[in-house]
Amino acid sequence: MQISQELYSKAQKLDNDQLRSIIRSEKFKGQTSGLSKNYLQTNLIILDKKYALDFMIFCQRNPKACPLVGVTDVGDPFFRTLGNDVDVRSDVPSYNIYKNGKLFKLVNNIINLWNEDLVAFAIGCSFTFEHSLIKKGFQIDHIENNKVVPMYKTNIKNKVSGAFKDTMVVSMRIFKKNQVNEVIKICKSFHWAHGTPIHVGNPKEIGILDINNPEWGDKPKALLEDEEYVFWACGVTPQNAILSSDIPFCISHTPGHMLITDVPEDAEVPILQ
């Protein structure tokens, strides 16, 4: 959901408790890139417990796209290791509801959908390293213009686990050609937030035929002659896997609308619950 620049600018100044409060009360329903400076944001997948093991194995086999940083106990809607009172039922600005492998609807809380058989998984997000890039003077278009980062399906096949397969999803940012090496260097240490890019340059080489038509997020700005496309593995990859499955029910964040945690960006990999 697109929100006003004024509300987005106010949210950028809030601490994590304040951010989760306005998200929980549904006063903020927008994208979260550029918020929660210096803290880990995560993708979210919620599944029936019968699929939990297969999904954990899927993450283990595809760690670049799915760096697993948190798992709830069965039926417990709180990520006990990721922060103070992090409630998966209400602390994401927008949720996708999937039924039988198809996107059913978007909602702003899942309080009435939560049940004792569900397990929630938190997967690291590239929004986390964006703050470090900005501190080093890099410009990021979707943050400067209150947009959702563009995300694309690729031809890079995932390693299969149970019903989870299909191909990797990537997020894309544009940088000056002479900045790319420095960008890679900065992102290298964020291995639980996708780390270094998986591709730089021609999008068609990874199966993206129309860069101006992302499957998720907003259309990117026009590429200038001295600029380059840079692609990161993306935590929306499991949602792509859900779309090619027949899983009866799944809940995720809406791409770009992340779960905010209290884990510092320079912390070691969080201990899984």
In sequence order, what E strands does 88-204 have? 95-99, 102-107, 118-124, 151-157, 167-176, 199-200
For residue 162, the tally of other CB atoms under 10 A from its CB is 15
Q: Are 254 and 33 in contact (CB under 8 A)?
A: no
Non-local (6+) Cβ contacts of 135 within 8 A are none
Strand (E) or helix (H) holding 181: helix 180-187
pLDDT digits (tens, 9 = 90+) for 241-255: 998 898 999 999 999
pLDDT digits (tens, 9 = 90+) for 64-113: 999 999 999 999 999 999 998 999 999 999 999 999 989 999 999 999 99
CATH 3.40.1640.10 fits 5-126+244-264, yes or no: yes
71 pairs with which residues across the strands? 121
Q: Is the pLDDT of residue 273 over 50?
A: no
Q: Is the pLDDT of residue 208 over 70?
A: yes
In the chain, helix, strand, coil percent, each to 5? 25, 25, 50
Mean pLDDT value across residues 245-268: 90
Q: Is the pLDDT of residue 271 over 80?
A: no
Angle of CA points 81, 20, 10, to nearest 5°: 135
CA distances from 115 to 66, 108, 194 (A): 24, 17, 31
For residue 116, the tally of other CB atoms under 10 A from its CB is 8
Every domain of the chain and the residues it spans: 5-126+244-264, 138-233
Query: At the top level of CATH, which class does the domain 138-233 belong to?
Result: alpha beta
CA distance 66 to 97: 20
Non-local (6+) Cβ contacts of 225 within 8 A are none
**And the tokens for 64?**
């670049």
- In this predicted structure, what is the pLDDT of residue 3? 77
CA distance 191 to 195: 4
For residue 230, the tally of other CB atoms under 10 A from its CB is 22
**Residue, of 78 and 266, whose pLDDT is higher:** 78
- In this predicted structure, what is the pLDDT of residue 272? 53
